[in-house]
Amino acid sequence: MRTLPITVTALAATLALTLTACGDDGDGGDRKEAGDRKSGATTACAADKLGQEVVASEAPAAGDTGTVSVTLTNGSGADCTLEGFPSVALDAGATSLSVAPEEAAEPGRLTVKQDETFSFTITYVRGPAGDATKSAAVRTVKFALPGTDAELSFPWKYGEVALQGQAEPDASVTALQRAGD
């Protein structure tokens, strides 16, 4: 059996103590101190610096499922960080319906560099046209990214959205994820 020299063992123990003294608040070691932010650390993505593209696979008839993918491009000139789900609301005139996160989705932390893209997808069930008790005539989708208050939007052109109960859309949204290759 081979043993490590005492110097290597002592160095490893010292390093372990030093790292433990730095602390870990449960954020996986990504904690940034105030001074770090000034030296180029990432911040939440600024909504006004994002390019937006919306692509749909529209549900053809009532009862069918469709998807609307929103791809955003970081045009801020700096890295930005996202973690979690976007908050999404379907605006149907006098009514605004919150879209729930996808049940099986696990949000992660995502750092987006300059000109990189990230996305989320809204999955919905098309409702019967003209029946306000079973569907919502959505006009606009409004969404905000985690860590920001700014709202972005796009027009909804994909038919009425089915309702589950009186004010809950039959729709869900995925966590934010890196887009492209």
- Provide mean pLDDT across the span 50-54: 95
Q: Give the 3-state secondary structure of residue 70.
A: strand
Whether the pLDDT of residue 107 is over 90: the answer is: no
Predicted pLDDT at 42: 54
CATH topology of domain 43-178: Immunoglobulin-like (2.60.40)
Q: Where are the alpha helices (DSSP H) in 1-145?
A: 6-22, 34-38
Predicted pLDDT at 20: 31
Using alpha carbons only, how large is the chain's radius of gyration in Å? 22
CATH 2.60.40 occupies which residues in the chain? 43-178
The answer to which of 10-24, 30-44, 98-112 has the lowest mean pLDDT is 10-24
